[in-house]
Amino acid sequence: MKQWLPKLNFFYRKRPRSNRRQTVKFSPPVILSAGFAALIAVGTLLLKLPFATEQPITWLESLFTATSAVTVTGLVVVDTGATFSGFGLTVITLLIQAGGLGFMTFAVLAAISLGGQIGLKQQMLAKEVMQQTSLASIKQTALAVVVLALVAEAIAVIAMTIYWVADKGFTDALLESTFYAVSAFNSAGFVLSPNGLVDYQEQRFITLLVSVLFVIGGLGFSVIYNIYEQRRWYKFSVYTKAILLATLFINLAAMGILWLLELNNSATIAGMPWYDQAVNSWFHAVTPRSAGFNTLDTGAMTESSAVFTLLLMFIGGGSMSTAGGIKLGTFIILLMATYTFLRRREAVTLFDRTVPQDLVMKALAVTIVYLGLIFCGIFALMILNQLPFIDIAFEVLSASATVGLSRGITAEVTSASQLILVFLMFAGRLGPLTLGYFVATPKKRYVRYPITDIQVG
Amino acid sequence: MKQWLPKLNFFYRKRPRSNRRQTVKFSPPVILSAGFAALIAVGTLLLKLPFATEQPITWLESLFTATSAVTVTGLVVVDTGATFSGFGLTVITLLIQAGGLGFMTFAVLAAISLGGQIGLKQQMLAKEVMQQTSLASIKQTALAVVVLALVAEAIAVIAMTIYWVADKGFTDALLESTFYAVSAFNSAGFVLSPNGLVDYQEQRFITLLVSVLFVIGGLGFSVIYNIYEQRRWYKFSVYTKAILLATLFINLAAMGILWLLELNNSATIAGMPWYDQAVNSWFHAVTPRSAGFNTLDTGAMTESSAVFTLLLMFIGGGSMSTAGGIKLGTFIILLMATYTFLRRREAVTLFDRTVPQDLVMKALAVTIVYLGLIFCGIFALMILNQLPFIDIAFEVLSASATVGLSRGITAEVTSASQLILVFLMFAGRLGPLTLGYFVATPKKRYVRYPITDIQVG
Ligand SMILES: [K+]
Ligand SMILES: [K+]
């Protein structure tokens, strides 16, 4: 139950007493939170500059936009394309890149630093997950993240520019492509039109490319790196296999369910040929788990689809990715732990491997903190606004899971509610455990108490 | 992780081979489910008899009413007082008594049978929880449940009859008192008026008495028995102390929150003097965790109150009680396990006692199965009905947690939806683990696999 967040051993490693004073002792949750907060502060200032916008925006609008960009959420209170100047859009693009890529890089550094700090068993775990053990390879690995991301984005920019060049001319095609490639790979969900990607709902090349980018970004770095290094299924780690299979299964199941739910909805897919129905069902099946782009009018989808989308947002994507939610790994462990208990087995297993008990406890803690956060968010917004429960639940889930889908109330809710959404995006991006870290100061206890029994269920 | 539901060792005890054929081997979940199903079937038949009702009802209405009575839920599709004859009301009263008391008695038998079956450690646990170890005392203990319940009900009947006799005359006062006493102590929430107890919202004696009855009934038998036997706080078991403190805290906090949320709502408490506001806030703070009676118009309460009530219904009351929900013990363990993890402690503790790991796993399993059940129920009802999300979520939670509060849509939803509600009441009463028992056949596995790592959160 120790080591719930890997410590950066640059900061923690014990040094000779004489050197101690020079060591700055901050744990990763603190560094992470401070880094994101600083980035948001800088972003807020830059976006508030007169030449960042076509018409003046309020401080709250600036804070909301900067937070949404840094946390790669994509919820907006102003129309991004119409409000911001070229400078403003460049700032937003950089905030997205720093928030998305920066987080992935930091997560890698934090996870890899496990290697030098703890016992052989954990080193083997770190090796299995990260394929890295030595501190020497940290730099190389972090570099690999950056290179992989930039290469993926560059390919997307080239492809989109070629597709759009006849329509929009070279400069506009290139600029738009860059914005969308960065926004998509980082699962940011930022768009240039108030309709989202609805204008492109029949440009299958664009919507499929965007969805491929954010599905990859949402897998999580360790999975991408594992695939990139190993290339063969049988060589993949248990975690990589689990994430890939779960992603495939959930995406296809969700596509089928949403297709059925929207089949007769003339406001969404009812009037389309079957292949456009398929592409848009696919898009709205995969977008809720991290990206937040929409090719259909989210508010016009059936309420049943909205309820189903709540579940997808709650689950989220891979760990150490641009996605939010409780994360796919957590979801898998919750289901496996329940199944294990019902079958009266002793240990949770996955692909013939045992899942350690403390990971199950971690999954439990993540889920409870997350449920608590969401409940408080919904409850607060219900009190502050006279809006339908479904819209508020959707908005709160979307912010907490850094998804960015909205049924259209983001700009409509009270200022206090928008500040709450800012907090939810921030907390959702840092993850429930980082939040929990600030709530409960870690403190080890060495007393052992006799066992008791509590009635459950 | 074994022994998630205590086996009845009358059925499980190994006998000499020659006697084996005579032994009927059914596990408690099967017996429990079959018993409830049989009771519901008999109830459905009896309530469908021509002389059970003033005007004919459909089979679905009969099934719904019988299920609601046996599972002590209190959701209704017909106006109980106006629809059923004296015979019908007697049948309903008996169904409530059998469903509520029968379950408690059975639960006691099941829990106590732990004693003869398993190791010394569990015997000590059983002793701590039930204050009983020997098989000989089962009969005595089960008898104590019945006697305690009947005494409590008898006192309530006498008190209410005296209060009402001037108003209603002796016979009516006695009959109504009996109906309400049984309905209240078993947390059934059945009433004789379509307005619930709204007509009595200023008869503070009645509403407080009813709330005291269902709060006691919702504590769970083992707590009541523990208090009855020990009488002193310091002698109470850890479980008893935890349940009493949590009940007190949740009830008072909920009372304050609901009072604030309804303060300006002229459809509920805004026009009342402060003491009636207090009594009715108290009533609606305690009713969602098991009882389902209402002294205010549930549908007229603010949507914020409805959202808060969802949480109370989800938590529910004590184990082995007339309440539903995930149960208070489960809720406490979930919170404690999360807190333990965040503080990086090794073991979950409560009142200087260690909570065994398999109880934490049980709490996790209960919660996940329950969340799955509720989500599927809400999703299905959203598809089948064009009704607001808040009303459907409220109805599904109310049925699954056998609460019986409604925002007024029970009779309005489609027949298929009513059948789903019947299933949810049934599943909710049996408990998520009994349901899980049928989904996953228990099977022990003796292979041990190497440890793996899964990224979580
Ligand atoms: K997003
Ligand atoms: K009830």
Mean pLDDT of B170-174: 89
| A432, pLDDT greater than 80 | no
Phi and psi angles of residue B118, each rounded to the nearest 5 degrees, phi first:
-130, -175
- Count of CB pairs separated by less than 8 Å, A with B: 289
* Helix pair B28-48, B415-430: axis angle to 10 deg: 140
d(CA A281, CA A265): 12
**Pairwise CB contact (< 8 Å): B457 & A327:** yes
Residues whose CB is less than 8 angstroms from the CB of residue B147 and which lie 6 or more positions away in sequence, other chains included: none
**Residue B270 to residues A131, B246, B265, B287, B409, Cα–Cα distance (Å):** 64, 29, 5, 20, 25
Give bridge partners of residue A53 from the DSSP assignment: A84
Q: How many helices (H) and strands (E) does chain B have?
A: 19, 2
Q: What whole-number distance in Å separates Cα of residue A14 and Cα of residue B21?
A: 69
Measure B76 CA to nearest chain A CA, in Å: 25
C-beta atoms of A319 and B128 within 8 A: no
pLDDT at position B6 over 50: no
Instruction: Report pLDDT for A441.
Output: 56
Predicted local distance difference test score (pLDDT) of residue A5: 40
Q: Average model confidence (pLDDT) for chain B?
A: 82
Q: How far apart are the first and last CA of chain B?
A: 24
- Band of residue B33 on the pLDDT scale cut at 50, 70, 90: confident
Return all residues near A301 (Cβ < 8 A) that are at least 6 apart. A261, A262, A265, A267, A268, A284, A309
Q: What is the pLDDT of residues B200-232, one digit of tens each?
A: 888 888 889 889 888 888 888 778 878 887 888
Q: Residue A452 above 50 pLDDT?
A: yes
Q: Among residues B284, B283, B309, B287, which one has the least CA distance to residue B390?
A: B309
Q: Share the mean pLDDT of chain A.
A: 81
Letter for the amino acid at A16?
Answer: P
pLDDT at A235: 84
Helix (H, G, I), strand (E, B) or coil at A348: strand
pLDDT of residue A384: 95
A370-A376-A379-A380 Cα dihedral, nearest 10 degrees? -130
Tokens linked to B62? 């009969």
Q: Report helix, strand or coil for B401.
A: coil
**Average pLDDT of the residues in B430-448:** 64
CA of B403 to the centre of ligand 2 (A): 4
Per-residue confidence band for A224, with pLDDT thresholds at 50, 70 and 90: confident
In this prediction, residues B144-162 reach a mean pLDDT of 88
Q: Provide, for chain A, the percentages of residues in helix, strand and coil under a 3-state DSSP scheme, each rounded to the nearest 5.
A: 65, 0, 30
**What pLDDT is attached to residue A178?**
92
pLDDT more than 90, % of chain A: 41
Q: Is A387 part of the contact surface with chain B (CB cutoff 8 Å)?
A: no
Distance A360 CA to ligand 1 centre (A): 27
* Highest mean pLDDT (candidates A221-230, A287-296, A352-361, B253-262): B253-262
Cα–Cα dist A236/A227, whole Å: 7
Smallest CA-to-CA distance from A406 within A156, A196, A265, A162 is with A196
Is A362 an interface residue toward B (CB < 8 Å)?
Answer: yes
Q: Residue B304: its chain A contacts at CB < 8 A?
A: 379, 382-383
Residue A353 confidence class, pLDDT cut points 50, 70, 90: confident
| Angle between helices A432-439 and A28-48 in degrees, nearest 10 | 110
Element (H, E) at B211: helix B204-217
Q: Is B6 exposed, middle or buried (0-12, 13-18, 19+ CB in 10 A)?
A: buried
The single-letter code of the amino acid at A48 is K
Q: How are beta strands A348-350 and B349-350 bridged, if at all?
A: unpaired
Lookup result for tokens 């769970």: B220
Dihedral of alpha carbons B30, B31, B32, B34, sign: positive
What's the pLDDT tens digit per position in A297-349? 888 999 999 999 999 999 998 887 888 889 998 999 999 898 888 877 777 88
A204 min Cα distance to partner chain B (Å): 29
- One-letter identity of residue A77: V
d(CA A284, CA A85): 30
Q: Where is average pLDDT lowest: A190-199, B15-24, B198-207?
A: B15-24
Highest mean pLDDT: which of A46-55, A343-352, A431-440?
A: A46-55
B208 touches chain A (CB under 8 A): no
For A414, the token pair is 């009270």
Q: Which DSSP helix (H) or strand (E) runs through A349?
A: strand A348-350
Kindly give the residue spans of alpha helices, DSSP state H, lying in A78-169: 80-83, 86-112, 114-117, 120-130, 137-168
Amino acid at B134: S
Interface with B, mutate which of A361, A371, A407, A456 (most B CBs under 10 A): A456
Ligand 1 centre to CA of A183 (Å) is: 9
Cβ neighbours of A363 in B, within 8 Å: 456-457
Q: How far apart are CA A344 and CA B254, in angstroms?
A: 37
Q: Provide mean pLDDT across the span A412-439.
A: 85
Name the most confidently modeled range: A233-242, B138-147, B253-262.
B253-262
SS3 A79: coil
For residues B306 and A26, give the distance between their C-alpha atoms in angstroms, rounded to a whole number: 43
User: CB distance B362–A456 less than 8 Å?
Assistant: yes
Q: What is the mean pLDDT of residues A225-243?
A: 84
Whole-number pLDDT of residue B26: 56
Is residue A382 less than 8 Å (CB to CB) from chain B? yes
pLDDT band at B125 (very low <50, low <70, confident <90, very high): very low
- Count other Cβ atoms within 10 Å, centred on residue B369: 24
- Supply the DSSP string of B57-86, one letter for each residue: --HHHHHHHHHHHHTT----SS-HHHHB-H
At residue B457 the predicted structure's pLDDT band, cuts being 50, 70 and 90, is low
Q: How many CA atoms lie within 13 A of B391 on its CB side?
A: 15
Minimal-distance CA residue of chain A relative to B261: A383
Predicted confidence at residue B12, as pLDDT, reads 39
Residue A440 near chain B (CB below 8 Å):
yes
In this predicted structure, what is the pLDDT of residue A339?
87
Which A residues, 155 through 184, put their C-beta within 8 Å of a C-beta on chain B?
none
User: Which amino acid makes up residue B305?
Assistant: S
Least distant ligand from the CA of A99: 1
Q: Which of B220, B383, B389 sits opposite A390 (nearest CB)?
A: B389
* Contact A327/B at CB under 8 A: yes
Query: Measured between beta carbons, which residues in chain A are less than 8 angstroms from residue B239?
Result: 452-455
Within 8 A of B439 by CB-CB distance, chain A residues are: 342
Give yes or no for residue B376 having a pLDDT over 90.
Answer: yes
Q: Which of residues 397-426 of B touch A (CB under 8 A)?
A: none
Instruction: Compute the distance from residue A196 Cα to the ligand 1 centre, in Å.
Output: 12
- Does the pLDDT of residue B63 top 90, yes or no? yes
CB contact under 8 A, A368 and B335: yes
Q: Report the alpha-carbon distance of residue B213 to residue B207 in Å, rounded.
A: 10
Q: Distance between CA A429 and CA A36 in Å, rounded?
A: 9
Tell me the range of A427-431, B111-115, B343-347 where mean pLDDT is highest.
A427-431
Residue B141 has pLDDT above 90, yes or no: no
A365 touches chain B (CB under 8 A): yes
Other beta carbons less than 10 A from residue B246's beta carbon: 17
Measured at the alpha carbon of residue A396, what is the angle toward residues A395 and A399, in degrees to the nearest 5?
A: 85
Residue appearing with tokens 């003796």: B446
* pLDDT tier for residue A23 given thresholds of 50, 70 and 90: very low
pLDDT score at B121: 43
Nearest to B452 among A355, A448, A450 (CB): A355
- What is the average per-residue pLDDT within A166-188? 89
pLDDT for residue B285 is more than 70? yes
Nearest CA to A200 out of A176, A222, A219 is that of A176
Residues A84, A90, A96, CA angle at the centre, nearest 5°?
A: 105
Tokens of B105: 């008695």
The tokens of B134 are what?
A: 């020997």
B264 C-alpha to center of ligand 1: Å? 38
Q: Residue A308 has what pLDDT?
A: 95
Query: Whole-angstrom Cα distance, residue A432 to residue B66?
Result: 44
* ipTM computed for the complex: 0.86
Which among A126-140, A185-199, A279-293, B127-141 has the top mean pLDDT? A279-293
Ranges A326-335, A352-361, B97-106, B336-345: which has the least confidence: B97-106
Q: Which residues of B touch A2 (CB under 8 A)?
A: 344
Rg (CA), chain B: 22
Which residues in chain A have their CB less than 8 angstroms from residue B241's CB?
none
Top mean-pLDDT range of A4-18, A214-228, B2-16, B311-325: B311-325
**B119 Cβ under 8 Å from any chain A Cβ:** no
- What is the per-residue burial (b if ≥16 Cβ within 10 Å, else e) of B408-425? ebbeebeeebbebbbbbb
Give A4's contacts in chain B (Cβ within 8 Å).
341-342, 344
Q: What is the pLDDT of residue B106?
A: 66
> Do the Cβ atoms of B453 and A129 come within 8 Å?
yes
Phi, psi dihedrals of residue A451, rounded to the nearest 5°: -80, 145
Percent of chain B with pLDDT over 70: 80
Average pLDDT over residues A356-363: 85
Please answer yes or no on whether A393 and B388 come within 8 Å at the CB atom: no
Asked if the C-beta of A4 comes within 8 angstroms of chain B's C-beta atoms, the answer is yes
Q: Residues of A with CB below 8 A from B359's CB?
A: 453-454, 456
Query: pLDDT for A99-153, tens place per residue?
Result: 887 766 766 666 555 433 434 443 444 444 344 444 455 566 677 777 888 888 9
- Name chain A contacts of B242, Cβ cutoff 8 Å: 454
Residue with tokens 């919820």: A75
CA A314 – CA B397 distance, rounded (Å): 19
SS3 content of chain B, % helix, strand, coil (to 5): 65, 0, 30
Mean pLDDT computed over A26-40 = 78
8 Å CB contact of A339 and B393: no
Q: What Cα–Cα distance (Å) separates residue A240 from each residue in A196, B89, B266?
A: 32, 60, 57
CB-proximal residues (5 Å) to ion ligand 2:
B 74, 187, 189, 292, 404
C-alpha to C-alpha distance for A5 and B182, rounded to whole angstroms: 53
* Cβ-proximal residues to A255 (8 Å cutoff; 6+ apart), any chain: A278, A281, A282, A285, A286
Contact (CB, 8 A) for B439 and B411: no
